[in-house]
Amino acid sequence: DGGITQSPKYLFRKEGQNVTLSCEQNLNHDAMYWYRQDPGQGLRLIYYSQIVNDFQKGDIAEGYSVSREKKESFPLTVTSAQKNPTAFYLCASSIVGGGGTDTQYFGPGTRLTVL
């Protein structure tokens, strides 16, 4: 089955700790994305990557870091510098081609709660 997986589904962390969220896809997509979703707000882009070993900051990259060492994987680290990390985190992937063919498909999400 092709798809995007994120783990864990629920994550709790103490203030001051870094935590890494996993995102894996077997769709052979070149592009991958991380979004954050807060109640009453639209999805906001944290980081994106269009090719292995390259990634770009989105609108709210402060306090986050990513890596893209493999095409299939795009882990997100939420660092202690992120002031308000409690949120629902969504990973997505797409081909890079323009038009409707580069629709973004989403993983099931990780709900992070900082205690």
Contact pick of 42, 83, 84, 115 for another protein (by CB under 8 A): 42
Residue 61 contacts residue 46 (beta carbons within 8 Å): yes
Of 67 and 88, the one with the shorter C-beta distance to another protein is 88
Beta pairing, strands 19-25 & 4-7: antiparallel
**By rule CB under 8 A, what string of x and - marks binding of each residue 53-82 to another protein?**
---x--------------------------
Question: For residues 4 and 114, what is the distance between their CA atoms, to the nearest angstrom?
Answer: 25
Q: Is 90 in the site for another protein (CB under 8 A)?
A: yes
Of 2 and 40, the one with the shorter C-beta distance to another protein is 40
Shortest Cβ distance from residue 26 to another protein (Å)? 16
Q: Is 40 in the site for another protein (CB under 8 A)?
A: yes
Shortest Cβ distance from residue 114 to another protein (Å)? 18
Residue 16 contacts residue 30 (beta carbons within 8 Å): no
Question: For residues 89 and 32, what is the distance between their CA atoms, to the nearest angstrom?
Answer: 13
Shortest Cβ distance from residue 51 to another protein (Å)? 11
Question: For residues 90 and 104, what is the distance between their CA atoms, to the nearest angstrom?
Answer: 11
